[in-house]
Amino acid sequence: MRMAALASMMLSLLVPPTVSAGNVPTSTSATYELIPEAGLVRVTIAISVTSLIPSTTQGNVTTDYFIDNVSFAVKPDGVNFSASTAGGAATVSVQSEGEGFLSTGTVTFPGIFYGQSRSITVVYDIPGGAPRSGNPTRAGMAYANFCAFPVGVYTGDPASYQIVVPSRFTVDQFGGNQLQESTSDGKKVLSSESTPTPSDPGFYGTCIEALDAAAFSEREHISVGGIKVTTQAWPEDPAWSEAVVGTLDDTLNALEERIGPLPATQGAITLREVLGEILVGYIGSFDPELSLARVSEDALDPLVAAHELAHAWFNDTFSEEVWLSEGHAEFLGREVVASELGPCTRPDPAALASVDLSDWTFLPALPTAEDYALVSAQYDTACWVVTEVGQRVGEDAMREIIEAVFSGEIPYLGEPEAETVRGHAATWQDWLDLADERGLLPAGETDLDWLQDLLVEVGVASERGLADRADTRASYHDLLDATDPWHAPTVLRFDMARWEFDEAVEGMEVAAQIDEARDSAVELVPEVAESDTVETAYENAGTPEELAEALTVAETEEAAATEVAAALTAAGIDRNPIELIGLIGEDLDASASAAVEELVAADFDPAIANAEDTVQTAEGAALSGGLRLGGVVVAAGAIGGGAVLVRRRRRRGAETEAADTDTAATEATSTDMAEPAPAETDTSRSDTAQSDSAKSDSGGGSDD
Ligand SMILES: [Zn+2]
């Protein structure tokens, strides 16, 4: 505000009065009205000023003071200034206060003296800027964006402001004081209090984004799989439409193909062109709750739209980790559009060193060059990590990993279907496991720790924190190799997925015992390999107790196999004539075979009983043979005793030389043995594919 003093007499003195809110009370009301048809915001400032500066008298000189102008802040890009006041002329002049500051407008009017008041109206226009222009005001037919502020002359004077838009516009007050919305005269009016308190010390006013949805240059895009995206471009910006809208169908279909169906929680998507500045340093944003992608007018590269669209999948429903969502959005964005940027590669060492992906930094409201460098290094690094994985595992596995991240599937697979291990968004640990187990290992990656080492390098994890994982996973995969083709027990797979490595180690100790017992049983009786009893108990063990029970089953099987192996040996041994007589009416092969079948069927008790019977019968053969011969009972008793001893020695020999050929066995039994019973038994054995070792025993015996 400028002041002037006018001497009412010739001898008057020019004395600058003390001006304050107290002696020149003013009130202002500024109205910012959007006029989209004219592409501008019209500002009308109603000023009321009163002079309370009394005349002063010194000697015979009286000085009267008058007020004939006031100053106030105006937008630097304001044009078409005019002023009016009742019963007189008013003029406005504007003085720039330099780059980044509001300008000073001064309205001059017929002066008012002590006790007088005057109302003045100042009007000027803020033209909307062209797309991508430096002017931050947009006043388009579909999209407007501007800030309004109170025009106070003195601090503490009443200074209200309001924003008026055509009622067809919806208004989002995104910054500063929140205004009261009402309707008046077919217009939407947002009004401040008479003297609002600034909502934040750095900014006094209100910024709005106003949309007339019907006026957008709007297009609907529906993907092959039915994903719906509506693009909303400014009708005044055909260049953006061509770059973004024109490529969107291809982008959408390619994303869907590479990622999979959109999560059910995600509704139809709107992708809207917005003022660059509103994104405060960014070039696009995605709000999963509103299903709204906002893409800057500056983003003429379709990559930005692809990236933001990808956030319909990759947001906090995908992972709590910002770097994972950003990394995936950028990786897939670059995969699906022909951007000159190409795939993300390893950032330079300085950029990499500045980044800690575990602590994602967002741009502050007024970003510096350093802020931009850091944030950009984060994006590059996140994208590089995901790209490395994507390139190694291939498109199909990447899609499988992503789908498993969404569904909460267990990384460590069992049979037949992957269980769900979580109902929340993936942690980086979940993603790491899925990428490793469902992507990298199946793709042939041999270094189990490759990805976790990479995550350490980019700050996601600490080396120490991952040491247990490395050790336990190595043991886990050793166990899988040892038990191939079995899957790991359920309890163990869940322990691994939950990073409960101590429990997993304990489980693997039990699993190793089960594996050992099983191997031993198969070695004793190869037919045991056909049985899935232990495998089922092992794989289905969902608790440590059930795993312990599986060990009991395996040990029982091993014990039974020991008995059955003895029976097979006893049945297969070569007999002397007395023993053969003793065995007339007995069928050792049949009873041993029955024991094998029972063993394979996991009827362990009958198997053991049958095996023991077989052995006992075999061992008693000489005695019963002697008894049958009658006359030589006494001698037979003595011979029988000797025969048992011989048999036992031979049995041991047979166990160690179990590799005689099948042909030898068959020939021997069919040519040398006169008794019909063993010959039949032998035939039935080869039909039922009984064990090689049993046949070998009998063959070796016959040759003697
Ligand atoms: Zn993003």
Q: What is the DSSP letter of 408?
A: T
Strand partners, 146: 208
The torsion angles phi and psi of 363, rounded to 5 degrees, stand at -65, 140
Ligand 1 centre to CA of 280 (Å) is: 14
Ligand 1 centre to CA of 587 (Å) is: 78
- Residue recorded with tokens 């709107």: 270
Ligand 1 centre to CA of 320 (Å) is: 14
Ligand 1 centre to CA of 308 (Å) is: 6
Q: What is the pLDDT of residue 689?
A: 36
Residues near 584 by Cβ (< 8 Å), separated by ≥ 6? 628, 675, 677
pLDDT above 50 (res 185): yes
Report the chain's terminal Cα–Cα distance, integer Å.
130
CB 358 within 8 A of CB 461: yes
Of residues 509 and 655, more confidence is placed in 509
Ligand 1 centre to CA of 225 (Å) is: 23
Ligand 1 centre to CA of 339 (Å) is: 16
Q: Which helix H or strand E contains 63, and what residues bound it? A: strand 61-74
Ligand 1 centre to CA of 121 (Å) is: 47
pLDDT above 70 (res 153): no
Ligand 1 centre to CA of 315 (Å) is: 9
Burial of 105 (0-12, 13-18, 19+ CB in 10 A): buried
Ligand 1 centre to CA of 230 (Å) is: 19
Ligand 1 centre to CA of 262 (Å) is: 17
Q: What is the pLDDT of residue 647?
A: 37
Of residues 265 and 411, more confidence is placed in 411
**Cα(197)–Cα(159) distance, integer angstroms:** 10
Q: How many CB atoms lie within 10 A of CB 569?
A: 23
Q: What is the pLDDT of residue 684?
A: 37
pLDDT above 70 (res 651): no
Q: What is the pLDDT of residue 695?
A: 38
Ligand 1 centre to CA of 330 (Å) is: 7
Quickly state the pLDDT bin for 228 (edges 50, 70, 90). very high
Ligand 1 centre to CA of 329 (Å) is: 6
User: What is the residue-averaged pLDDT of the chain?
Assistant: 85
Task: Domains for the chain: give ranges and CATH numbers.
Answer: 4-211 (2.60.40), 216-313 (1.10.390.10), 338-461 (no CATH), 567-703 (no CATH)
Ligand 1 centre to CA of 621 (Å) is: 85
Ligand 1 centre to CA of 172 (Å) is: 22
Ligand 1 centre to CA of 238 (Å) is: 25
Strands 61-74, 79-85: pairing is unpaired
Residue type, position 257, single letter: E
Of residues 621 and 346, more confidence is placed in 346
Strand order in the sheet with 117-127: 79-85, 117-127, 40-50, 26-35, 159-166, 187-191, 180-184
Ligand 1 centre to CA of 407 (Å) is: 22
Quickly state the pLDDT bin for 227 (edges 50, 70, 90). very high
Ligand 1 centre to CA of 326 (Å) is: 5
pLDDT above 70 (res 648): no
Ligand 1 centre to CA of 222 (Å) is: 22
Ligand 1 centre to CA of 631 (Å) is: 102
Length of the chain: 704
SS3 content of the chain, % helix, strand, coil (to 5): 45, 20, 35
Q: How many CB atoms lie within 10 A of CB 524?
A: 24
Read off the pLDDT of each residue in 244-263 and give the average, rounded to a whole number.
94
Q: How many CB atoms lie within 10 A of CB 698?
A: 27
Task: Encode pLDDT of 100-139 as tens digits.
Answer: 788 999 999 998 989 999 999 999 999 999 999 988 899 9
- Residue recorded with tokens 């575990």: 358
Ligand 1 centre to CA of 363 (Å) is: 13
CA 676 to chain centre: 72
Ligand 1 centre to CA of 43 (Å) is: 37
Ligand 1 centre to CA of 393 (Å) is: 23
CB 539 within 8 A of CB 486: yes
Quickly state the pLDDT bin for 44 (edges 50, 70, 90). very high
Ligand 1 centre to CA of 365 (Å) is: 17
Ligand 1 centre to CA of 396 (Å) is: 23
Ligand 1 centre to CA of 702 (Å) is: 81
Token readout for 578 is: 């007395």
Ligand 1 centre to CA of 128 (Å) is: 29
**Cα(311)–Cα(39) distance, integer angstroms:** 33
Ligand 1 centre to CA of 436 (Å) is: 24
Ligand 1 centre to CA of 319 (Å) is: 13
Q: What is the DSSP letter of 64?
A: E
Of residues 55 and 322, more confidence is placed in 322
Task: Encode pLDDT of 508-557 as tens digits.
Answer: 999 999 999 999 999 999 999 999 999 999 999 999 999 999 999 999 99
What percentage of the chain has pLDDT greater than the value 70?
A: 84
Ligand 1 centre to CA of 419 (Å) is: 30
Ligand 1 centre to CA of 311 (Å) is: 7
CA 282 to chain centre: 22
Read off the pLDDT of each residue in 169-181 and give the average, rounded to a whole number.
92
Ligand 1 centre to CA of 307 (Å) is: 6
Q: What is the DSSP string of 169-201?
A: SEEEEEEESPPEEEEETTEEEEE--SSPPPSBT
CB 257 within 8 A of CB 297: no
Ligand 1 centre to CA of 322 (Å) is: 9
- Among 243-257, 514-528, 623-637, the minimum mean pLDDT is found in 623-637
**Cα(126)–Cα(150) distance, integer angstroms:** 15
Q: What pTM was estimated for this model as a whole?
A: 0.79
Read off the pLDDT of each residue in 633-653 and give the average, rounded to a whole number.
39
**Cα(410)–Cα(407) distance, integer angstroms:** 9
**Cα(328)–Cα(567) distance, integer angstroms:** 63
CB 534 within 8 A of CB 520: no
Token readout for 65 is: 């003071």
Q: What is the pLDDT of residue 198?
A: 73
Ligand 1 centre to CA of 457 (Å) is: 22
Q: What is the pLDDT of residue 20?
A: 54
pLDDT above 60 (res 142): yes
To the nearest 10°, report the CA torsion of 401, 406, 411, 415: -100
CB 546 within 8 A of CB 510: no
Ligand 1 centre to CA of 334 (Å) is: 12
- Among 162-176, 371-385, 624-638, the minimum mean pLDDT is found in 624-638
Ligand 1 centre to CA of 206 (Å) is: 27
Ligand 1 centre to CA of 255 (Å) is: 15
Q: What is the DSSP letter of 458?
A: T
Q: Which helix H or strand E contains 385, and what residues bound it? A: helix 369-407
- Among 347-351, 399-403, 429-433, 633-637, the minimum mean pLDDT is found in 633-637
Q: What is the pLDDT of residue 693?
A: 38
Read off the pLDDT of each residue in 422-434 and give the average, rounded to a whole number.
96
Read off the pLDDT of each residue in 408-423 and give the average, rounded to a whole number.
93
Ligand 1 centre to CA of 243 (Å) is: 19
Ligand 1 centre to CA of 433 (Å) is: 23
Ligand 1 centre to CA of 497 (Å) is: 28
Q: What is the pLDDT of residue 340?
A: 85
Instruction: Indicate the SS3 state at residue 478.
Output: helix
Task: Encode pLDDT of 431-484 as tens digits.
Answer: 999 999 999 999 999 999 999 999 999 999 988 889 999 999 999 999 999 999
**Cα(401)–Cα(379) distance, integer angstroms:** 21
Ligand 1 centre to CA of 432 (Å) is: 20
Q: What is the DSSP letter of 290?
A: T
Ligand 1 centre to CA of 669 (Å) is: 79
Token readout for 24 is: 């020149």
pLDDT above 50 (res 5): no
CA angle 29, 30, 34 (to 5 degrees): 145
Ligand 1 centre to CA of 499 (Å) is: 29
Ligand 1 centre to CA of 273 (Å) is: 16
**Cα(536)–Cα(538) distance, integer angstroms:** 5
pLDDT above 90 (res 250): yes
